[in-house]
Structure 1
Amino acid sequence: MSDPKPAPGTASPTGGDASSPRAVLFSGARVFDGRSDELTAPTSVLIVDGKIALVGGTEDVPSHALTIDADGRTLTPGFIDAHAHVMLQPTVPEMAGSDLAHHALYGASMAKLYLSRGYTTIRDTGGNTFSLKRAIDSGMNQGPRIYPSGPIISQTAGHGDFTPMSEPARLLGGHRDNMQRDGHLLVVDGVSDMLQAVRYVLGRGASQVKLAVGGGCASDRDPLDVTEFTAEEIEAAVKAAGDWNTYVATHVYNPTGIRRAVEAGARTIEHGNLVDAETLELMKDHGTWLCPQVIVYVSDPPGLAEVTKEKFAQAREGLDTLFELTKKTGFDRIGFGSDIISAPDTLAGINEEFVHRTKWFSPAEILRQATGNNGRLVALAGMRNPYPGTLGVIEPGALADVLLVDGNPLDDPSVLTDPERNLLVIVKDGQVVKNALADDR
């Protein structure tokens, strides 16, 4: 993919190349629409001015439209990573000792990488992505649409508190760590501080709020069984987010923390690896979404302490029970995320997630999770949705993020793990950001 070089004042609102045609016709494409179990017969899909204008038929095709002969290949919606951390890819020592500019350089590079892997949208669930989002939306940088959470909000000694052990408590005049200083994390305690934190991140432009309400794998101090934030603190966050017409997403593994978050009104559970049947039924009754990940647990990130490795193993072992319970209970509000942190090489292979999930789900279920399901999930942002419209599907009126795949991922998801070869065309916001068919002519 080449870097976009829009003329001043002509940048795409979502970071594509303004010179790309505003009408694109795919002919002879077998369409996965983001909802179905099967591909269509070869058909045409017309994109005009950033939206899907027509599926089937070729009437009213603008004379200036770029025509792409799909030749029976698969056309899918652009992928959505609903649990990303695009700014948090430096190694842990680098993050501790670098500044926001260093993180931003990583973030810009990783955003372009995401798009090259077919991810036209990410929901960033922790990190200072506000400026990166603006740079992409203005056309300054290439990358996916970003639904930003801003800093993860954590309690003292919670999943987002990386204050050095040598640093005195803030009660004794201690200072916030670099990750808080740079806007990736925010540590608060009590209802009053929680309200201030939520209002702050929403005022910065967050589309949803991210709380850590249970122990985490990547944090040394809090075992996975720990429940974080009181019910009153979580309820305050939910109320403040609701006043801004959006929602709260919650990091948590254990059933107690999940129940507390669900009963307080959180709309998504991030991870949930240690859930039990009763708690999953509670989530089902409340219409709560589950956003799990697999790739992050397959191999431990480098440089982990032994206690952290043990937590990753515990979370990994919980995946079988988690997904077996979703099947048994008919729970289908399941998203698709990665949660890759401090591992650019792993992020480069992010599409392995499609293959890892085949242990529990059919290829069609997995593709729905990464497209139609995630489109519904990000839409929970309501009036704070930075990209109003329908994402994750190919249907008239939907936002035009599509991929042309050489192969059939419903038969063999592994074709997605070689995006350089098999993602032939990438369209975001109706603009072509990669066209290997044209390059091959």
Structure 2
Amino acid sequence: MPEKLEAGALEVIRRLTDNGFEAYMVGGCVRDKCLGRKVKDYDIATAARPEQVQSLFKRTIPTGLQHGTVTVLIDRVPYEVTTFRKEGDYEGYRRPSEVEYIDSLHEDLQRRDFTMNAMALDRYGRLIDPFGGQDDLREKRLRCVGCAEERFREDALRMLRCLRFAAEYGLEPEPETWSALLRMKPLLGHIAMERVQAELLRMLAGANPNLAVELLCKSGVLEHTKLKLRLASIAEGKPWPDVETLPDELHRLAYMYIRIGATPEQAEADMRHLACSKQQTDNVRLMVAAYEQLRHEAVETAMPDGEDLPEVREWLKRQWLLAAIRYGRDTLRSVHKLYSLEAERTHSQSVWAAEGRVWLDAMPVSEVSELAVSGQALLRKFAPAKPGPWLGRLLAALLEDTALGKLLNEPESLLKAAEAYYEQIRENPCR
């Protein structure tokens, strides 16, 4: 598949050059080929104007004509083909006010952000590298093209991209680039929060999330976003443990909130500010909330010889399973993963880390839908009673006792227990 992907890009370049237009692979695909990394997609720059590109290929999509970009389909694979261009003054520290088509590859490369992204390959595999990108990669150096301050002033998002690239490729921003970033970071206040979110999550999902966190702390860029973030306080406190051991970016983000002492409400507010999806927001909020509840519920009691008191361990199991009912079994599995980062676990966390996954796997039910009786079955049993809050309380009681192993998840056992619960609820309707 990688060979097929590159073959399609070369086919686009051949057709353009055979028709008299310069054309090159540019940007990230060239960088990744130089590093021996897998190339996910190929971008092509050409002297041909958009309408000329459209006339040369059967299947095209006008994805960005205002910026000179046409998507060409080769065997259903998309390739972005962009006309050589230079850009006018930037608006809002993000986008150029106008684009002018040009015939110079050098001038086109000159407008790009970092030297490693300002290289090109021709149809014969010859590298065009006017700004020393290959040397910078060899020296593990991240450097802006030309004046770093100008590049960041043109597009303030480049500062977050700088941190992401440094972490992803194991590069060190060279002194002028780093100094310019520190001077210009207040301009991040002009950048849309969803763009900040995209860069942040890509950093945490990348090859070295720990280095990403380190650079975020060291730079303090999150203190300058358009909307204030609780996450900005990650720059404070002790060194970070290895978040790379967590399975994905949402676990890592949740741990960051836990680490800085954020409440579930603060984490949720941040996620909303960052324009995260509802699912992303709920996942992080639930992890933080479950972790916080368990921390507050913890009992730190052990026998003098270091062995657990059986009643304490049973109490800890109960709290763990009740949290699974409240926040979901998957959330507790996630919390179990978060404990792996705690260098100094409390007694309760040590028990949960050791036993929590086993308890969850053995848990007979964790939500009402898993019960062997339904709300409709209970309504039939207690007819002519009408649906109301009592039904939710009854199902919750059955769920808790079944999850804790006090009841078998069988219709006969549940319906029999429901009779006693129903009488209690009728006697105490407000409880």
**TM-score normalised according to structure 1 size:** 0.27
TM-score (norm 2): 0.27
Higher relative contact order (CA 8 A, sep 6+): 1
Write 1 or 2 for the structure with the bigger share of helix. 2
